[in-house]
């Protein structure tokens, strides 16, 4: 993915805020909401909790999360009827390394 595509993903204030929340889920959602034992997806937050925190419609949040996932900034796992998302540090690091290589 081109850096400009990732910039477009981050250009929306809500998508950027969601990414920041997922970067530190304990601070933004509380440790009790991280059901890592149940999901096996450490740091994963369900779409419902992100929707509740953002105050946006679930369909909007799902669309925003899809954009972030396509930019490789978050990763997801579907467990039953729930989808969990978490910050993808390796994807963010690859984006930053590409910027450094091209602009540094």
Lowest-pLDDT choice from 30-34, 62-66, 68-72: 30-34
pLDDT of 48 over the 60 cut: yes
pLDDT in tens, 56-65: 999 999 999 9
DSSP string, the chain: --HHHHHHHHTSHHHHHHHHHHHSHHHHH-GGG--HHHHS-TT-EEHHHHHHHHTS-HHHHHHHHHHHHHTTSEEEEEETTEEEEEE-HHHHHHHHHHHHHHH-
pLDDT score at 35: 57
pLDDT score at 30: 83
The residue-averaged pLDDT of 43-71 equals 95
């Amino acid at each position: 993915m081109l850096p400009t595509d990732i910039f477009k993903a981050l250009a929306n204030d809500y998508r950027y805020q969601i990414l920041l929340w997922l970067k530190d889920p304990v601070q933004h959602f509380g440790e009790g909401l991280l059901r890592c034992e149940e999901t096996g997806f450490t740091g994963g937050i369900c779409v419902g909790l992100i929707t509740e925190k953002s105050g946006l419609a679930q369909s909007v949040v799902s669309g925003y999360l899809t954009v972030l996932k396509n930019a490789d900034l978050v990763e997801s796992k579907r467990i039953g009827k729930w989808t969990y998302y978490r910050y993808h540090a390796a994807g963010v690091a690859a984006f930053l390394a590409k910027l450094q290589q091209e602009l540094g």
